Every structure is written in structure tokens, then in C-alpha cells.
Structure 1
């Protein structure tokens, strides 16, 4: 009995050590189509005012794009500003910006990217969070699925280029976020106020055109902004 207890404790200690290695090593990983997937390389960048995360394994590339470069949870769908992209071994691009063909499903596809921690004490900054999504090919007939996805202490090194140029709503939303931040840091007495204000107006109009405005919030902001004089 004593030998069994000792063996059990040794096994538990080994498991605990394995978990510590897993969670203390920078990574992008998840359950891809029912099997474990872990990136061989990973990096992060800031693109159009939001984060762009990338991890790759062989010919496969995973990218996660958020509309802002801060902590938060971002919904993924064909209507959202955030986007998840996966490039398969055959070069097919799957994106949450693509809608499924009605023959595949009539239900909206959902997913999330959750940025949970930004470590500003390290150089470069390191970012951690979770993700899950189903993404479709451009024709909506093929899909890939990730669940239990994690990006852990991914370094913000820059130099990345988004694979997804199809989601104009994403880009418009990120551009609006950047223009809004600049506008909020500018006063009416500043020499470049009119230029900054007009850039903000243009970004609002572009976002309304690209994403729609079912809540009316963007139009209200535009109306409140008034003429940039």
C-alpha cells in the first residue's frame, strides 16, 4: 500500500511538472478539427489599431485580428470587426469574415477572441488570451474549427501582414478606433484640429458604409461631431 501511495505521488508530481512547462512556455495552440494543434512559431503585431496574432505549423498559418489593441473579448462573425483566419496546407484561406453557404448551415457562426493579459513589463510586450471559432472558405462550402484555443505570452515583435483582405468592416473599425483616439487627444484650439476632426468624420462614414449601423450609435456620434470648423 505504501509503495502504491509513493508511486501515485510520483506520477502526480510528474503531471504537475508537465503542466507547469505547458503553461510557462509562450505558445499558440488549440483543438483543431478534433486534434491538438500547436504553432511552431508565433508573433504579434499592431495592425490598423488592433492586434494581429500569428502562429504557424508547416504550411498552416493561423491569424487572429482584433479591432483594438487592448484587453477585451471580441465576437467573431461575418459582421464583426474582429477576424480569425486559417490558411490550410493546400493554400485555402478560411475566415470568419466569410458566411457559410445555406446548403452547409442556416445558423450564424459564432466565435470569440479574448485578450486577457498584456505584460508591459517585458520587452517586447507579451500578450495572452483565448480563442475559438469556425471559419469558412470564400465559397462558404468548406470550414475549419478551433476550440479551446490559447495564445500565451506571445511577443509583440511586429512585421506581420494579414492574410485576410476581405473584411472591410474589420479594417474600417480599426481605422475608426485609431482616428477616434487621435481626435480625443486633440482640442479645438490645436492647429491641426480641423484636419483631425475631418479624418474622424471620414472614418465614421467609412465604418457606417462597411459595417452598417443597426444601433444608430455611429450616426449619433457623427451628428454630435457636427461641422469641423
Structure 2
């Protein structure tokens, strides 16, 4: 009898997971410190040097995954140019590139990004990930576990592209202009200020991925925003 119950629960779980994927396409989610974290916006791009960047935001926090190639399989984020990071609601950046303070732990941060699909023709990427990350001081850490991204759209593909990135960049820039109008009309303390500010920050992040940010000006604007 117990075996039958276990089998039934297993079948129910499998069908449940399949249904969740079906009704959440694309998707970018995981667990942050044991709590569900699910992005409301997500995008990816491939740079001229072949670096794949995947960004997800829930309008309050942003997770960035950067992989130093588009080769399928597991990419470590320790002592490599690949990394995982999270910028929280207080604008604190936690990155797997930051070393922990020796008083916290003696071994470095850990993590992996497992690329399952990089479909340039249809324009999406899929995979799984986890990482531990520290703030600049190395004294505080966060853990992102059980992460996966499924058919996250490629906004731009610079490698071998024929100009499609320019259109995506123009669209992203137009969204920034629209959200900037709302942001300038709001003031800290307004009931909707946090939502307006985070919408502007998300639009800037989209523009950064779609257009690039070689001079760091977009990142400077993002760093200067306090949406609390």
C-alpha cells in the first residue's frame, strides 16, 4: 500500500512539473536563501566576444548570469570569467566573483551554470544554475539554488548577426525613455515610487543588455538609483 502511495505521488509530481513549465514559458526562477525567487522580466544577449549574458528581474532584485562561451554543458563560476550575481532591493551587489572574508569562510564562492539550449535561430536560451555570492566586504552572502531559465529570449546576438541588435536596442531605449518620464514625475515617499523606480531600473537593465554599456554610463545610472 505504501509503495502505491509513493508511486502515485511521484506521478503527480512529474505531471505537476510538466504543467508548470507549459504555463510558464519562458521562465527564470529559483530559490534565494530558501525562498522562491521568480523573475517578471528576463532577457539574454551574446556579445561580439561570444560572452552570453542572461538577466532576470522581479522589479526589485536582479540576477545576472554571465557565461564566457555559448558551449553547452556545465560552466563553473569559480576562478573563471563566468559568474553569477544578485543586486538586491537596497542596491547591494552580491557576486560569485567576490571573495569571502576569512572570518566567514576560507574557501571561495561556488556555483555552476549549465547551458542546455542556445538556439540562435529561434532566439532563446535554456539551462540551470546555482551560485553562492558575497558582497564587496565578503562578510555577507546569499545563496541562489535550484535555478533554471527556460526559453529566455535572446534580445541580441552580436556574433554573426546582420543588424538585428540595432532594432532591439532602439526598442529598449524607447522603453527607458517612457519609464524615465514616469520616474521624473514621482518623488521619494510617493506610494508608487518604488514600483516606478524599479520599472525604470529594469528598463535600464534591458537597455544595457540590448545595447551594451562599454563606457559604463548605464550602470552608473543604475547604481545611482535608490528605489526603497
The residue number in structure 1 matching 2:133 is 135
Q: 1:14 to 1:75 in 2, by over 3 A?
A: closer
Deviation at 1:20, TM superposition (A): 2.7
Q: CA deviation at 1:120?
A: 4.3
- Distance, in Å, in 1 between the alignment partners of 2:12 and 2:116 is 28
How far off is 1:100 after superposition?
Answer: 0.4
Secondary structure of the structure 1 residue equivalent to 2:17 = helix
Structure 2 equivalent of residue 36 of structure 1: 36
What is the CA-CA distance between 1:71 and the residue it aligns to?
1.5
Residue 59 of structure 1: aligned partner: 60
For normalisation by structure 2, the TM-score amounts to 0.60
Q: CA deviation at 1:99?
A: 0.3
Q: Deviations over 1:64-112 (max 9, x none)?
A: 00001231311112x2110111000100011111100111111222110
1:114 maps to what in 2?
A: 114
Name which of structure 1's ranges 44-53 and 94-103 shifts more when overlaid on structure 2: 44-53
Determine the C-alpha separation between the residues in 2 that align with 1:16 and 1:71. 25
Cα distance, 1:103–1:21 mapped onto 2, change above 3 Å: same
- Asked if 1:144 corresponds to 2:138, the answer is no
Distance change (3 Å), C-alpha of 1:105 and 1:17: same
Matched residue, 1:50: 51
1:88 aligns to 2:92 (yes or no) = no
Which whole-Å CA distance do the structure 1 matches of 2:97 and 2:120 have between them?
31
Deviations 1:97-150 (A, max 9, x none): 11001111112221101111123452xx11111100001101111111011110
Structure 1 residue runs without a partner (length 5+)? 1-8, 166-229
Distance 2:90 2:113 in 1: 25
Contact 2:95 2:134 in 1 (8 A): yes
Q: Return the TM-score normalized by structure 1.
A: 0.60
Q: For residue 20 of structure 1, what is the aligned residue in structure 2?
A: 18
Q: Secondary structure at the match of 2:62?
A: strand
Number of residue pairs matched by the alignment? 153
Label 1:15 to 1:112 Cα distance change in 2 as closer, same or farther (>3 A). closer
Secondary structure (helix, strand or coil) at the match of 2:155 reads coil
Q: Residue deviations 1:46-66, cap 9 Å, x none?
A: 134211000001220000000
Hey, what's the Cα distance between the residues in 2 that align with 1:68 and 1:39? 23
Contact 2:109 2:134 in 1 (8 A): no
The match for 1:200 is none
Higher-Rg member (1/2): 1
Give the match's secondary structure for 1:44.
strand
